[in-house]
Structure 1
Amino acid sequence: MIKFETQRLILRNFISSDIDDFYEYMRLESTAKYEDFEPQTYKECTSAIERRITLDNVMAVILKDSGKMIGDINFSQEGEKGTYEIGYDFNEKFWNNGYATEACIAVLNHIFSEVGGRRVYAQCNDDNYSSIKLLERLGMRQEGHFIEDVTFKNDSTGNPIYVNSYLYAILKREWNLNEQNQ
């Protein structure tokens, strides 16, 4: 069981009662826009919650003051030992309040101090300006710009739509140099 607390947030494992808050943002086009899925149905969200309940690397992001779930964040070990990828989705009603930054700082601290992470990276579409700004606020550097490197969706005729993406990363030693993260 994982649980972190920040000044305004609780990050914890998913529980079955998260379904309504989860569905509230997973059904939106704004959530699905840069993801490999379409807006989710209630049934799809229920199945996703059932899977997530058992995972310690996927966390619900909860407002301390109200108990409302406003997003989720995940991390997974990738390839090289000590290398992790992070990802996140947040309810658009709560964008531009610093919640994603606060949640990501908690998760990066966990990866670097508790899990043995050496390097963390994230990928985002090159026109996802909110995500780009978030990754840069976290001190991550852009390591790559990939042109038409991935496709998640098809156009109306069934042809794949390729998108450009950025890869951002940060090393543990770089993270530790920034005192605001501690």
Structure 2
Amino acid sequence: MNTGRKIETKRLNLLPGVNMRDSKPFLKMLREDGDFQGYCGVKFSEKNLSKFATYFERTGQEECIYSIFPKDSMEKFIGYVGFHRELNGDYEIEFYIAKNYRRKGYCEEACKAVIKQIFGEGLSVDHNQITVDRLYATTLAENTPTVELLKKIGFHGDNPEDDPILVMQGFMDEDKEINICPVIKMIYEEKSMCT
């Protein structure tokens, strides 16, 4: 869980995620934005949605989630950005921006701030300072806006000349049915540092 401090950008305040403040608006976004399956890998249902009710205070895999608020409207939660550690030890960046705030540069601005922090002095997770020299990101192969955003902030294939890696990933829905989706995997390394 994020135990760090606020990060400020030109237009945003990134606050450590807190369920009490952020869960309700996040669940509302997932319910209403119309791209639940694209984000979660499974079809929308209230049961699948309920799995995200405690998203901001997860523990156990070095999760660090920042909630995103515009500086001019500190009560308006517009999404989140953060990272988590996978079982293999790799760190994955993750983000979500409300539909009405997309294509305005907010996600890019928030991602750059978190990347700069984790590659620099680090981020506090469960009161431990975490720094990395490599992140990766995955998204559905058909999610062109996210792939373009990741490229814009410095993500690339394993080798900078390579295209993103296409893998198949399974997501289990509430009926224990597995949905197999083509997923793009991209890498961000210290030499990619965004400014």
Which residue type is aligned with residue 26 of structure 1?
L
1:29-60 per-residue CA deviation (whole Å, 9 max, x = no partner) reads 3144231455475983783257359x860111
Is the 1:13–1:59 contact (alpha carbons within 8 Å) kept by the matching residues of 2? yes
Is 1:170 aligned to 2:188, yes or no? yes
Is the 1:61–1:72 contact (alpha carbons within 8 Å) kept by the matching residues of 2? yes
TM, length-normalised to structure 2: 0.75
Indicate the structure with greater helix content: 1
Q: Which shifted more, 98-107 or 1-10?
A: 1-10
Please provide the CA RMSD for this pair.
3.0
Q: Structure 1 48/91 Cα, relative in aligned 2: closer, same or farther at 3 Å?
A: same
Which residue type is aligned with residue 27 of structure 1?
R
**Pairing partner for 2:94 from 73, 83, 87:** 87
Q: CA deviation at 1:22?
A: 1.7
1:74-119 per-residue CA deviation (whole Å, 9 max, x = no partner) reads 2123435xx4210111111111000000000011001100222111
Is 1:24 aligned to 2:28, yes or no? yes
Which residue type is aligned with residue 23 of structure 1?
L
Q: Which shifted more, 87-96 or 23-32?
A: 23-32
> How many residues get paired?
172
2:38 corresponding residue in structure 1: 33
Which residue type is aligned with residue 172 of structure 1?
E
Instruction: Give the unaligned 5+ runs of structure 1.
Output: none
Q: Structure 1 96/119 Cα, relative in aligned 2: closer, same or farther at 3 Å?
A: same
Q: Structure 1 50/119 Cα, relative in aligned 2: closer, same or farther at 3 Å?
A: closer
1:44 corresponding residue in structure 2: 50
